[in-house]
Structure 1
Amino acid sequence: MAPSLGSRLEVVAASAQEEIVLVAPFMKEAVLRRLLAVTDTRVDLRVVTRWHPVEVATGVSDLACRQAALERRSAEFMLCSRLHAKYFRFDNRAFVGSANLTASGLGWREPSNLELLVDSVPLQDFEDDVAACSVIATDQMQDLMEQASRALELQSIVAPSSEMPDLGYQDRAGVGHDIWLPRCRDPGALFDVQAGRHDDLTTTLTRDALIDLRHLGILSVEDRNAFETNVAAMLSYEPIVIEVLEFAKEPKRFGAMRDWIARRCPDIVDPVRQTQTLYRWLKKFLPEKFGFTRGNYSEIIHVLEPDTNRLRN
């Protein structure tokens, strides 16, 4: 019988001397630790995955993978909400295919999935693309994801497949610029829209809410708290939020933020309206990250407390 995919990866991991790159949407802590156990602790490590509350709540992925990675001397743990690829590089040898870093994916549990990993040269363009759309996972992101997954455990949810379900509408949020920005002017209406209660809302508001929900991958739930904690968790690692956190380390007046958004996304027709919409989302879903004050006829945004990439005590 041929060795399992996981055993093949273990052999190559044990021979790595410089850098390991592990990219997969689903990861389990025990599997990641098993691979790292055979790896020289001096080898640099970069892990890229995605976190989604429903995937954590149903046991598809483990948030503890972050701790397993960051216990190493030189490690980086990143998140990419758009991630579907599986790519594993050990120095100058790479594997590309269908297997996630899970026991069933790597053949370490019966019954195992029928998966494929093909030997490849390193794909630098792919690694650059992944890095460009990923963010470093932080303590606060992990806290929000834990809260959201716990809230979902009380709901009637179905374990996801490797693909998020098609929610039945077109995602046009990415058209025209390379970063997502919220479209729905009333974030408080998102809950009613996902629940199908939108007869009293305008067609435009409903359409924009559906586009935003599709982008964030929010599944329908009956409990408002579970819904809002899910939105907060997914919003927390959107690239635009990470960029605003950096830009607003020093308090910024509305005009400065408007001009920054106009430069960041030059195709936006109305930067004032877009800035207002973004502020409404941040106030609604991430009040622990951002504060807003009034001063000299302008609204001022500031970061309430720095987020951290350190392991929590």
Structure 2
Amino acid sequence: MDRPGEALLRLCSEARKEVLLAAPFCKTATLARLMSVVDPAVPIRVVTRWRPVEVATGVSDLEVFELLCRRRAGVLFLRHDLHAKYYRGDDTVLVGSANLTATALGWAPNSNFELLTRPFEARGVLASFETELMRQAVLADGDTRDMVAAAAAMIAVAPSQEGAPAELLAASNPGPCWVPYSRNPENLRAVYAGDHESVAAGARADAERDLAYFDLPRGLGADGFRDAVAVVLRQHPLLLRIDSFAAVPRRFGELRTLVREYLDERSAPENATDLTQRCIRWLRYFTPTRYEFETPKYSEVLVRRRGNS
């Protein structure tokens, strides 16, 4: 049986139409080795996740963004809740446990015991998986990379992180189509810090549901907490869509129409008016310098400040 790295190198080298690599952890040297065997004319899509705590502890590299930018047919997408390891070269698919790291692919002295194998699922099932994979993925950019780097730096120096990997909050998975649930985003910080008495029971349940999505390390100060949440919001398809839409002043009704379209695309049962209100509150709270907010003639208007792209 081939080692995972050998199987993945062969998949990449034999591709003639497209290479898709999806894994939560992605290291620069590992991706560079795989890219080196791909025909220069073959497009490469990489889907990974950028969580500040994982960047701070070294399991993923932000430099993969520059690596793909330097390739004419390379592009990087981000999906915060990604756990699957899925690799495709044309019609050949490999799935299993191995991330895009030397330790996982058998290229390190003390490599993990991992598996990559060709699935027996029908092609339609795999195509459906890819559709769902990309539905919640967002295109990586330099601003997001810089935000993650800054948040990771704050995590790396937090007292609770010294001498050990970050301790993560234990929480249930809120699901792949998460949207902000807390009406008052300041409740997240209170619940995160253990100040449960200041938050009503129903609001506390919403805050816990939101915190489960962010998967934050313990011990963050107020600024570090806000930055870590802002990084994840930057990678959420709905919040990113609102951010792009607000490049010019947008009234509440316009934003609500945008949110309703997003919900309809996913057959989500959320109320568009309520969700729009929550999204505006979250953006103003966690990224206060990025937006201007006015209420002329009783209609709220949101616009991204100049200089923020």
Could you state the TM-score of these two structures normalised by the residue count of structure 1?
0.87
Equivalent runs, 1:228-239 vs 2, <5 Å: 228-239=226-237
Offset at 1:220?
Answer: 2.4
Task: Establish whether residue 125 from structure 1 lines up as the match of residue 128 from structure 2.
Answer: yes
**CA distance in 2 between partners of 1:43 and 1:196 (Å):** 50
Offset at 1:81?
Answer: 1.1
Q: Given that residues 294 and 302 in structure 2 are in contact (C-alpha distance below 8 angstroms), is that contact kept between their aligned partners in structure 1?
A: yes
Task: Establish whether residue 82 from structure 1 lines up as the match of residue 72 from structure 2.
Answer: no
Task: Establish whether residue 151 from structure 1 lines up as the match of residue 151 from structure 2.
Answer: no
Q: Residue type of the partner of 2:63?
A: A
What's the counterpart of residue 19 of structure 1? 18
Q: Residue type of the partner of 1:56?
A: V
Q: State the aligned residue count.
A: 298
Task: Establish whether residue 167 from structure 1 lines up as the match of residue 170 from structure 2.
Answer: yes
**CA distance in 1 between partners of 2:6 and 2:74 (Å):** 23
Equivalent runs, 1:73-112 vs 2, <5 Å: 73-112=72-111
Offset at 1:166?
Answer: 6.3
**CA distance in 1 between partners of 2:262 and 2:12 (Å):** 40
Task: Establish whether residue 44 from structure 1 lines up as the match of residue 43 from structure 2.
Answer: yes
Equivalent runs, 1:198-237 vs 2, <5 Å: 198-237=196-235
Q: Residue type of the partner of 1:154?
A: V
What's the counterpart of residue 56 of structure 2? 57
Deviations 1:239-294 (A, max 9, x none): 1112212333332112322344345437334x444333221110111234433233
Displacement over 4 Å in runs of 4+: 305-308
- Aligned with 2:251 (options 253, 258, 263): 253
**CA distance in 1 between partners of 2:274 and 2:42 (Å):** 47
Q: Residue type of the partner of 2:108?
A: R
Deviates more, 1:299-308 or 1:209-218: 299-308
Q: Given that residues 190 and 199 in structure 2 are in contact (C-alpha distance below 8 angstroms), is that contact kept between their aligned partners in structure 1?
A: no
Q: Given that residues 180 and 240 in structure 1 are in contact (C-alpha distance below 8 angstroms), is that contact kept between their aligned partners in structure 2?
A: no
**CA distance in 2 between partners of 1:82 and 1:106 (Å):** 22
Q: Residue type of the partner of 2:165?
A: A
Structure 1 residues 74 and 207 mapped into 2: Cα distance closer, same or farther (>3 Å)?
Answer: same
Which structure carries more helix by proportion? 2
Task: Establish whether residue 192 from structure 1 lines up as the match of residue 190 from structure 2.
Answer: yes
Deviations 1:191-220 (A, max 9, x none): 221111121221122111111111222232
What's the counterpart of residue 284 of structure 1? 285
Offset at 1:4?
Answer: 3.1
Unmatched runs of 5 consecutive residues or more in structure 1? 309-313
CA RMSD of superposed structures (Å): 2.4
Q: Given that residues 98 and 116 in structure 2 are in contact (C-alpha distance below 8 angstroms), is that contact kept between their aligned partners in structure 1?
A: yes
Q: Given that residues 242 and 258 in structure 2 are in contact (C-alpha distance below 8 angstroms), is that contact kept between their aligned partners in structure 1?
A: no
Q: Secondary structure at the match of 1:112?
A: coil
Structure 1 residues 133 and 274 mapped into 2: Cα distance closer, same or farther (>3 Å)?
Answer: closer
Identity of paired residues, percent? 35
Structure 1 residues 21 and 222 mapped into 2: Cα distance closer, same or farther (>3 Å)?
Answer: closer
What's the counterpart of residue 240 of structure 1? 238
What's the counterpart of residue 263 of structure 2? 265
Q: Given that residues 55 and 159 in structure 1 are in contact (C-alpha distance below 8 angstroms), is that contact kept between their aligned partners in structure 2?
A: no
What's the counterpart of residue 311 of structure 1? none
**CA distance in 2 between partners of 1:143 and 1:220 (Å):** 22
**CA distance in 2 between partners of 1:126 and 1:307 (Å):** 34
Q: Residue type of the partner of 1:138?
A: D
